[in-house]
Amino acid sequence: MSEERSGAAILIECLKRQGVEFVFGYPGGAVLPIYDELFADRDIRHILVRHEAGAAHAAEGYARSTGKPGVVLVTSGPGATNAVTGIADAYMDSIPMVVITGQVPTGLIGTDAFQEADTIGLTRHCTKHNYLVKDPERLRATIDEAFRIATTGRPGPVVIDIPKDVQIAMATWNEQDTAPLPSHRYEPRLAATDDEIVQAAEMLAAAEQPVFYTGGGVINAGPRASDLLRDLQRRTGAPVTSTLMGLGCFPADHPDWLGMLGMHGTYEANMAMNRADLIVAIGARFDDRVTGRLDAFAPQAKKIHIDIDRAQINKIVPVDLGIVGDCAHVLEQLLGALENRKAQDLSEWKARILGWKARECLAYPESHETIMPQKAVQRLFEMTRARDPIITTEVGQHQMWAAQYFGFMGPNKWLTSGGLGTMGYGLPAAIGAQLGNPDALVIDIAGEASIQMNIQELATASQYRLPVKIFILNNEYMGMVRQWQELTYESRYSNSYSDSLPDFVKLAEAYGWKGIRITEEAGLDGGIHAMLDHDGPVIVDCMVAKDANCFPMIPSGAAHTEMLLYGDKVGGTMDDEAKALV
């Protein structure tokens, strides 16, 4: 039976059929017809953010912590442009997201109408795909395809721009209609060929110094991929490292866990990469933060690269065997192929790794006057690990300390802005994660500078009674900027001091949150306890050492073997080639 429905009604119905629970959004002129449909709807819960960037990051947090796509609804013009940072962030970190943007009516497109922006043009290079829907009859097929594109293959954001008249216009709606999609054009490859698997198994079986270099792709492939990674590690015995985005895909308390690699990775992870004879990259993309100086990256290693995105293979580092496929699929195939093979004796390799671990690269000087930020993260970890918390972060030193000192045991517990490095990500992401995981303990480990970038979202958490916790490592500096200025610009701290800070405790109270300030180490455990004991949202303003640096660190343009550790003498400047690197 077919009937007529408005574009807005079709949109809401399609979202429901996709199983959408939450829409993160902000109303405006060009989406009023959709908001009117939402008003009457009982199934979809709309979460009113306080800024559209917050909507996009909240959708990311929801998606990353649940594995389901995040949905965003914003108006035309500034609504869309404000959301762009979050869309670009999701694109870089492969987060499944569908963003509905209102647009001026079709007749006004291109006339510089009120709140008009070329959303399709603006988002062209930060979305996996985008659509401008001019015909309401196309809406249903478009939305279905958008969800399929966002959630399959390498996940990513998809924008659907819907002019206001298309939201109002009527189109036929057939209850049974499963509109055929032009699916020929989007078929991500999931499985490896038999030849590739045989070759990979042979390379693995022959390796004497193998390393698994894992990344966010393992998380994106679902919890099963993390389980399979553990099986594969058990079978081969090879040590495992991970990128920032991959933390949690392998348990941090495992004896063969090397810790994170790269610029602020551990000494043992970077040394193992440098000395390995085989690197198996799984869902990782050889980012510049990971490789350091390219001509010195893993010089002796043969390399296998498993990635669902063909464009990642050979992009930065040429590999010996590239396998395009879904991590879970390929790991399962690989396990099958290894079944009858005897694992190599890796004891010599592991002994060398133990030697590197003995450097204790994460050791830091204790302080009695102030709280060391590393100590604060360590205590936070130890006091919350039994509750298996979800951790979000902002961007900067605190993010790296969280990655280094907080141990992640399973996937989907660590939400951070890796690729784009977006300050202001953590609070809205925590809100999205809390909605998706109502019983979980969700903590945003923040810096005092980053948290101010989306501080308005405190009100969102208040409105929906979300008990998120913000743990600010307050060193009164944009710490990572200050650290780089110290190391490369002879400590000229240009504009990196966090002047005129608000009183975070009073700010928390103004928004109906609880505020706690920790000023000395003796109060650290008590403060964390008080935060955990409060059943509502809490800001903890933890005053930490102002001059602590994040080590280990591979300076710009240096090799994995040239790490700086605490206590190393650090030069005050660098040559132009090194300065030019990001």
Partner 1 sequence: MRIAEQASERHVLNVIVDNEAGILAKISGLFTARGYNIDSLTVADISEDHAISRVTVVTNGPPPVIDQIRAQLERLVPVHKVIDLTEAGPHVERELALIKVAGTGDKRVEALRIAELFRAKVVDTTTASFVFELTGAPDKVDSFITLMRELGLVEVGRSGVVGMMRGTQTE
Judged by the rule CB under 8 A, the positions of this chain that interact with partner 1 are: 120-121, 124-125, 128-129, 132, 149, 182, 184-186, 309-311, 313-315, 318, 576-577, 580
CB of 69 to partner 1, least distance (A): 16
Select 129 or 235, whichever has its Cβ closest to partner 1: 129
Active-site choice (13, 92, 164, 423): 164
CB of 239 to partner 1, least distance (A): 29
CB of 315 to partner 1, least distance (A): 6
Handedness of CA 319, 325, 328, 333 (dihedral sign): negative
Select 459 or 578, whichever has its Cβ closest to partner 1: 578
Contact 544, 370 (CB under 8 A): yes
Residue 516 CB-density burial (10 A; 0-12 exposed, 13-18 middle, 19+ buried): buried
State how far the Cα of 254 lies from the Cα of 270, in Å rounded to an integer: 18
Query: Does the annotation mark 374 as catalytic?
Result: no
CB of 523 to partner 1, least distance (A): 49
Contact 24, 55 (CB under 8 A): yes
Select 101 or 270, whichever has its Cβ closest to partner 1: 101
Contact 104, 113 (CB under 8 A): yes
Tokens of 352: 């060398």
Q: Percent helix, strand and coil across the chain, each rounded to 5?
A: 45, 20, 40
State how far the Cα of 536 lies from the Cα of 418, in Å rounded to an integer: 28
How far is CA 391 from each of CA 143, 297, 357, rounded to the nearest angstrom?
31, 30, 26
Select 180 or 182, whichever has its Cβ closest to partner 1: 182
Instruction: Kindly give, in sequence order, each residue whose CB lies less than 8 Å from that of residue 139, ignoring residues fewer than 6 positions away.
Output: 7, 10, 11, 14, 133, 162, 166, 171
Query: Does the annotation mark 212 as catalytic?
Result: no
Contact 32, 76 (CB under 8 A): no
Bridge partners (DSSP) of residue 220 are: none
Could you report how far apart the first and last alpha carbons of the chain are, in Å?
59
Half-sphere exposure of 458 (CA within 13 A, CB side): 21
CB of 295 to partner 1, least distance (A): 12
Select 318 or 526, whichever has its Cβ closest to partner 1: 318
Select 131 or 513, whichever has its Cβ closest to partner 1: 131
Helices assigned H by DSSP within 250-318: 267-275, 288-291
Active-site choice (16, 114, 348, 509): 114
Active-site choice (423, 480, 531, 543): 480
Select 109 or 532, whichever has its Cβ closest to partner 1: 109
Query: Does the annotation mark 114 as catalytic?
Result: yes
Active-site choice (22, 24, 37, 52): 52
3-class secondary-structure state, position 525:
helix
How does DSSP classify residue 477? Answer: B
CB of 129 to partner 1, least distance (A): 4
Contact 51, 457 (CB under 8 A): yes
CB of 573 to partner 1, least distance (A): 14
CB of 572 to partner 1, least distance (A): 19
**Which single residue is written with the structure tokens 């009858």?**
340
How does DSSP classify residue 371? Answer: B
Q: What angle do CA 330, 195, 337 make, to 5 degrees?
A: 55
Select 148 or 224, whichever has its Cβ closest to partner 1: 148
Select 61 or 419, whichever has its Cβ closest to partner 1: 419
Select 184 or 506, whichever has its Cβ closest to partner 1: 184
**Which single residue is written with the structure tokens 């795909």?**
129
Contact 491, 88 (CB under 8 A): no
Phi and psi at 315, nearest 5°, equal: -70, -50
CB of 104 to partner 1, least distance (A): 16
Active-site choice (21, 68, 115, 315): 115
CB of 125 to partner 1, least distance (A): 5
74, containing H or E segment: strand 70-74
The one-letter code for the residue type at 104 is: V
Contact 381, 413 (CB under 8 A): no
Q: What angle do CA 294, 126, 246 make, to 5 degrees?
A: 50
State how far the Cα of 524 lies from the Cα of 209, in Å rounded to an integer: 42
Q: Which residues are catalytic?
A: 52, 114-115, 164, 480
